[in-house]
Amino acid sequence: MKSNQLALTFSSIAENVGIARLLIASVGAQLDLPLNDIEELKVAVSEAVSNAIIHGYHNRSNHIVYLELEVTDSTLKIVVKDEGCGIPNVEQAMQPAFSTDPERMGLGFVFMQSFMDDLQVDSTVDIGTTVTMKKQLKQTSNASH
Ligand code: ADP
Ligand code: MG
């Protein structure tokens, strides 16, 4: 399996969530991941990108969201970054059902956590938020499964 790096930089508009989903789905398909894994990757990326737009940038469209993908033999790494308002208390924000918006479910981080093998959230108020997610890839190049 060759290593690969991709970056997609896009405006903070809801339409671009679909573009981000298409990119991760293409990479997942190239890696021959099962359809179910690809669906989960799409959800994880959607949730992180939606958070950047909705929470980080308060739904304002004149900002930039950064999506970076890095594939190695063993790992698919996904980084979603915004330069928005930041999260004052990351531990609290990651709790199931916690949301600063009463209209929302507060399950975005729960999905990211459960669909990915590793989730790291780095955030600074007024600087922005970086969400780093990793998925372990099964080695197919040798006899063991
Ligand atoms: P929801 O989006 O439904 O509120 P999440 O689990 O996705 O639930 O996020 C929980 C909370 O974390 C959000 O309500 C918000 O306060 C905060 N948050 C998440 N991502 C960001 C971000 N990129 N920038 C600022 N705040 C964020
Ligand atoms: Mg969310």
Residue 137 pLDDT > 50 = yes
Give the single-character DSSP code of 137: P
Residue of minimum CA distance from atom 1 in ligand 1: 106
Confidence of residue 141 (pLDDT cuts 50, 70, 90): low
* Average pLDDT of the chain to the nearest whole number: 95
Q: What is the pLDDT of residue 143?
A: 45
| Residue among 17, 51, 101 whose CB has most ligand 1 atoms within 8 A, to mutate | 51
Asked which of 2-6, 11-15, 52-56, 124-128 is least confident by mean pLDDT, the reply is 2-6
Please state, in angstroms and rounded to a whole number, the distance separating the CA atoms of residues 140 and 122. 32
Architecture of domain 4-135: 2-Layer Sandwich (3.30)
Could you give phi then psi for residue 14, rounded to 5 degrees?
-55, -35
Give me the helix-helix angle, 15-30 and 35-51, nearest 10°: 150
Q: What is the pLDDT of residue 134?
A: 98
What are the sequence ranges of the domains in the chain?
4-135
Q: What is the pLDDT of residue 144?
A: 44
Please state, in angstroms and rounded to a whole number, the distance separating the CA atoms of residues 132 and 115. 13
Give the single-character DSSP code of 84: S
Around ligand 1, the residues with Cβ closer than 6 Å are: 47, 51-52, 55-56, 82, 84-87, 93, 98-101, 104-109, 129
Q: What is the pLDDT of residue 139?
A: 73
Each residue of 54-103: pLDDT tens digit? 999 999 999 999 999 999 999 999 999 999 999 999 999 999 999 999 99
